[in-house]
């Protein structure tokens, strides 16, 4: 019942002829344990040097990088226009009269816009005073109300100064007495 196709198992000495011996395997493992960390360290150092240290640098502030073949374009600088401090009495049912003192600055794009907005300053101040008189002292209790106030003031000023856009309204002082 012995078929000619059946293979007999190899003895350890015969197996050594076809594969690596145990000694050679251990020697190869030792070499790999020493060489692999060194190679990984070198590859990591090269990656760090070329992609982290020498990587692309962000454009300088005030410049926008254009597609290839075009030069850098300098952005317009900001201009700030101070509004005289405004003091108004707040609405409320309390016996004690409360006042709001507000000092704001507007951020504009250019000097020309600043001059044009300055010409409309009496209308801007009238609108701000009218709006601020409708507020109560409780309207200033949270940071959300301050953000809402900024947005409302910006919206009202931008309606007056159109087509010039006031980029931002900055609070210099808000005091409720």
Distance CA 42, CA 68 (A): 34
Q: Is residue 148 part of a domain?
A: yes
Top pLDDT among 85 and 75 is at: 85
Is 97 found in the same domain as 43? no
Q: Is residue 167 part of a domain?
A: yes
Q: Is residue 63 part of a domain?
A: no
Query: In the chain, pLDDT over 90 holds for what percent of residues?
Result: 37
Is 157 found in the same domain as 83? yes
Residue 155 is part of which domain span?
A: 79-176
pLDDT confidence of residue 136: 85
Which tens digit of pLDDT belongs to each residue from 19-44?
A: 667 788 888 889 999 999 999 999 99
Q: Is residue 65 part of a domain?
A: no
Is 49 found in the same domain as 83? no
Is 167 found in the same domain as 102? yes
Residue/partner pairs of 159-163 with CB below 8 Å, 24 or more apart: 160/120, 160/123, 160/124, 160/127, 161/116, 161/117, 161/120, 161/124
pLDDT confidence of residue 176: 86
Query: Could you give the C-alpha distances from 78 to 75, 81, 112, in angstroms and in order?
Result: 9, 10, 11
With a CB cutoff of 8 Å and minimum separation 6, the contacts of 94 are: none
**Looking at the 3D structure of the chain, how many domains does it have?**
2
Is 170 found in the same domain as 87? yes
Compute the average pLDDT of residues 137-166: 88
pLDDT of 130 above 90: yes
Which tens digit of pLDDT belongs to each residue from 48-58?
A: 877 777 655 55
Burial of residue 151 (CB within 10 Å: 0-12, 13-18, 19+) is exposed
pLDDT confidence of residue 98: 87
Is 103 found in the same domain as 19? no
Is 87 found in the same domain as 17? no
Is 97 found in the same domain as 170? yes
* CATH for 89: 3.30.479.30
Q: Is residue 158 part of a domain?
A: yes
Q: Is residue 7 part of a domain?
A: no
Is 102 found in the same domain as 166? yes
Is 100 found in the same domain as 24? no
Query: In the chain, pLDDT over 70 holds for what percent of residues?
Result: 75
pLDDT of 77 above 80: no
pLDDT confidence of residue 96: 81
pTM value is: 0.55
Confidence band (pLDDT; 50, 70, 90) for 123? Answer: very high
Q: Is residue 6 part of a domain?
A: no
């Amino acid at each position: 019942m012995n078929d000619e196709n059946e293979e007999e198992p190899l003895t350890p000495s015969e197996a050594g002829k076809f594969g690596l011996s145990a000694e050679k395997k251990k020697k190869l493992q030792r070499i790999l344990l020493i060489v692999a960390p060194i190679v990984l360290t070198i590859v990591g150092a090269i990656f760090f040097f070329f992609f982290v240290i020498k990587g692309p640098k962000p454009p300088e502030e005030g410049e926008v990088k254009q597609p290839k073949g075009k030069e850098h374009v300098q952005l317009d600088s900001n201009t700030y226009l101070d509004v005289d401090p405004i003091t108004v009495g707040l609405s409320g049912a309390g016996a004690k009269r409360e006042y709001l003192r507000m000092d704001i600055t507007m951020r504009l794009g250019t000097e020309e816009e600043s001059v044009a907005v300055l010409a409309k300053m009496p209308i801007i101040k009238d609108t701000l005073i009218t709006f601020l008189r409708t507020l109560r002292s409780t309207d200033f209790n949270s940071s959300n109300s301050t953000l809402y106030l900024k947005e409302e003031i910006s919206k009202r000023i931008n309606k007056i100064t159109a087509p010039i856009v006031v980029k931002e309204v900055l609070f210099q002082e808000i005091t409720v007495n």
